[in-house]
Structure 1
Amino acid sequence: MLLWLLLLALGPAGVRPDWLSISLQRYAYEGDRVVVRCSGEENDKIKKLMYYKDGSQIDSYSSASSHTISNARPRDSGSYFCKADRTKFFFFTGTEESSSRRLTVQELFPEPSLTVSSLQPIEDTSVTLSCDTRLPSDRAGTQLRYSLFRDGHTVKLKSSSSFWTLALRQEDSGSYWCEAMTASGSVSKRSRQTNVQVHRIPVSGVLLETQPQGGQAVEGKLLVLVCSVAAGTGETTFSWHRVDTRERLGSKSLRSRRSELKIPSVRESHAGEYYCTAQNTGSLIHSEALNITVRIPASHPVLTISAPEARTAIGDTVELQCEDRRAHPPVLYSFYHKNVSLGSISVPSGGRASFSLSLTREHSGNYSCEADNGLGAQRSEEVALHVSEPPPKTRLVNGAHPCEGRVEVERAGRWGTVCDDGWDMKDVAVVCREVGCGAAKHTPAAVLYPPLAEDAQPVFIQVARCNGTEKALAECEQEEIFDCGHDEDAGAVCEDV
């Protein structure tokens, strides 16, 4: 009886296949965490637990434990079962085997494909690259990150966007591929390589222009030489040259269809012909030559006045001359008296301009002139002009003092005498006032002041009818001479002041 019980306890393995069971999900996606769990009625009696896939042992444990596939792959698909060695009776052990379960690991997303909007784009034009794949509907919320590569180097790092818009250069030609990866990094797949060949357009239509336009530079101002191309892509090397000296003024390389060379302060010596060149391939393209003229702005002009020592008298005519020797013509000269404009004169050849004045007492004061050739007006320093009363046209000669003597008057640069016909104290009073002496005292005959006037000296006035209030003898009513000799010349005596 005892032997029968012992044989029963130590019976062959698998007598109770339901004692050991396996737990395993039927379906999973690549990248998932899958747990294969085997257990029995009395797990503490398990001495060794072994897991199998498709008949081959994949893992073993010394006690009851689960087998974990941390990052499932399609290759993990297959039939799983487990075996357990357990204590059956005292120190006797037996082996139990579970039933099998099938695991199918599905692809989370297919290998992406890289789509390029143009496989032979023109340099610097926009090219769109798209990394395309798809997720199953029940995993549509899975976040994927995308990267772009060229010839083994990363072009764009991981981002949630699956497309990129790039302005490719000729040196960006090469093999491109993209990678799609889950946010956790558990699943990543690359596309096949796509070859992209970027084409460069040679430069053409090279043009040299200036700022200011038309090659019109101004001395002391900024001049910009602008070199541009009508067509051309990629990095272009621009150079600027002067024709007469064969000098290269400068060179710049940049990814642009225009470039500037600045001359901060233009000098007169910068005038001449210039051209520029452009190159982005093997050929060098020249622009046409452009003539640069340098206009010299007006400087401070010089004002001169024709009157000696700038002093003159009422009735005189003076000439104001304004001169700027360097100003680029044409020049507009303007004249000012006490900052009030007298008039303007345009001189096509520059140089100088003159302005005439017939003087009155009001013309005394400071004068200036202005030169303007369209590049900014410049004012001269002020010059003072003193306009005095005209010198007397009457004088007393041969007297004992300057306020006594024979009366003489001036006409056209000649001095002549006055006849004593009708000569009275009113006439003498006017003479005394005109010559700057005191009150009239006497009307003597001129013979009292020898010698007599020479025969060649004319007699200008026969009769002077003054009322005594005139400022000068010339203001009095007069009769011209007809029969008066020098023995009848008039004299005058005034207070000597």
Structure 2
Amino acid sequence: MSVFLAIVLLSLNVGRSGGAIKPVVTFTPNWGNILYLDDVTLTCDVPSTAPEEPRTYHWYKDKRPIPGDQQTLHIIESLGRDSGDYQCQTIGGDISDPVFLNVTERYVLLQRLPSLIYEGDPLTLRCHHHRFCKAINPKFYKDDQEIKPSGSDSTFHIPNITRSQSGRYKCTKQIQPCYTPNVQELSDESFISVKELFSPPEIKVPPSRVIEGDEMTVRCDTRLDPLRGGTKLHFAFYKDGWTVRGYDVSDTYRVPSSQLEDSGKYTCEVRTRSDTVRKRSDGLYIQIYELFSSPQIKVPPSRVIEGGEMMVRCDTRRDPLRGGTELHFAFYRDGRTVRGYDVSDTYRVPSSQLEDSGKYTCAVRMTSDTVRKMSDGIYIQIYELFSPLKIKVTPSRVIERDEMTVRCDTRLDPLRGGTELHFAFYRDGRTVRGYDVSDTYRVPSSQLENSGNYTCEVRTRSDTVRKRSDGLYIQIYELFSPPEIKVTPSRVIKGGEMTVRCDTRLDPLRGGTVLHFAFYRDGRTVRGYDVSDTYRVPSSQPEDSGNYTCEVRMRSDSVRKMSDELYIQIHELFSPPEIKVTPSRVIEGDEMTVRCDTRLDPLRGGTELHFAFCRDGRTVRGYNVSDTYRVPSSQLEDSGNYTCEVRTASDTVRKMSDGLYIQIHDYKMQNIIRLGISGFVLSAAVCFIYFHNKW
């Protein structure tokens, strides 16, 4: 089947009369004009959509029936009378449209397709000559301009014709007619008009005013030639030169929810499926109007002070044609949501705080969320109602018993100078003074326990703003250091002078302060308050040993401190004396030596001691450096209770030994006892020998 036939079948208009289908008449070969004596076959083509069944055909020429009941009609060696309009019909079907066959009596004929030529169609021209003539050197011209030089090919082909190629076409051939040997150049010409397949496309958009969020329909409007109504066209759409939808059979580009960025210069392009014809529309600028204007953050008052109410408004204007559209508003600070979507365009902070400062933005959207807009950011500064607090103390160096003034320093915003503030003070996290209008905490007589980390807190009367200061460590310095007992010498020996000192250090700034000192032993006063820090014992005795403490106070007794205890031991200068006698059994006439035994303290080994001896309370030898009392020949009357006494040369230490009874034994009695004992022993020995021998 020829190309022409294929196009005819694609562009077939199917007419129905009682359910019949209109056939189409085609030529083989497919030329609408032929030379006399040429053969041609006419075919009655029925579209393939008809049921496959045997058919009977009827043929007509110039609307009159002609012989033939087959699908094809053969014309052999056509003549001029065979020219005319041919139609065919099946039984029960519609009659076809007429197709004109032109039989010409000449030697050269420019043949073309029998149907109309549309842009995009292939065009084939044939320079045909009479079958009984010889011909050479065919040439083709358009509007008298040669378009194909001479050669052996008698056809000229344009694969994809355009409307600009409409014009007067001519072909020439050198012909030698059969009746003469002469060669002559003959020609034929025909005007070929290329019809428009479809009109130039035009962009159309309803509605005429598109508001963001609306569905926008952009249509690429064109009209196909009625005889080619079945041609498939493809459409593409562009915005500002960029493709927004590629080729598709739909002539419509839809934007379900148009946005401002969809505004632009739109064009569309139409082409055939085979892309043999392509046309682009003129541009049409489509403006997408705002449903509502870009939101803008507004905040009254212009200066927001902490504790005050802050109102942030998301300001926008609706399109007058859409005034009833419900909008939802959301607010953000530094990119974080502070209030989600709501119909109110205002975000309220009843009592603004410093942490409410930040970059605020708002977003507006439709209920359906098809349109959403974000405002530019605006930095909102929450100004302090009063400045950060600072602890200040007077004096800068506080010494115990001083009056200490702690001040909570702050400055009110000039626009809020009349605001009443309340102040509270804390030490180490515990309240030392509750809220009060005074910014000062006073300690009339500071003590060491008033030292600590001080903070203060300030709040408004309504408690909408509250601030706490950083901590300040306040040290209460001692007027004088805790007293410490010191003793001289470090080892006190009985009889020696003992000096006990209550050691303390006055603060350098208070060096002229008069202190009074008191001393205690085992909790009992040994010396009352006096300006001297020293307690002296000229001759210490063992009973002076004990736990010593001292107490220091100011003259006004506003500061008083007690030392830790110190145990002071009074060591013996020499040990208690002890009577010793040699020999241990003294017999009348023996020399008897009585010794007063004692040990000096090692640190006082050079101390001179004097010794005296008594018998039965009476002095038998007065004080002397010798610790020994000798009786060269003891008598019975020397028996008695002996004691000795030791003292230092200065008599500051004196000690008496315990008594020792010394018995002087009688010499005669001693001999009698000795003889008696000897006789008893001898008698016992004799008896033992006698009885032993007898047994």
TM-score bucket of the superposed structures, by smaller chain: 0.3 to 0.5
Bigger radius of gyration, 1 or 2?
Answer: 2
Q: What TM-score, normalized by structure 2, do the two folds share? A: 0.34
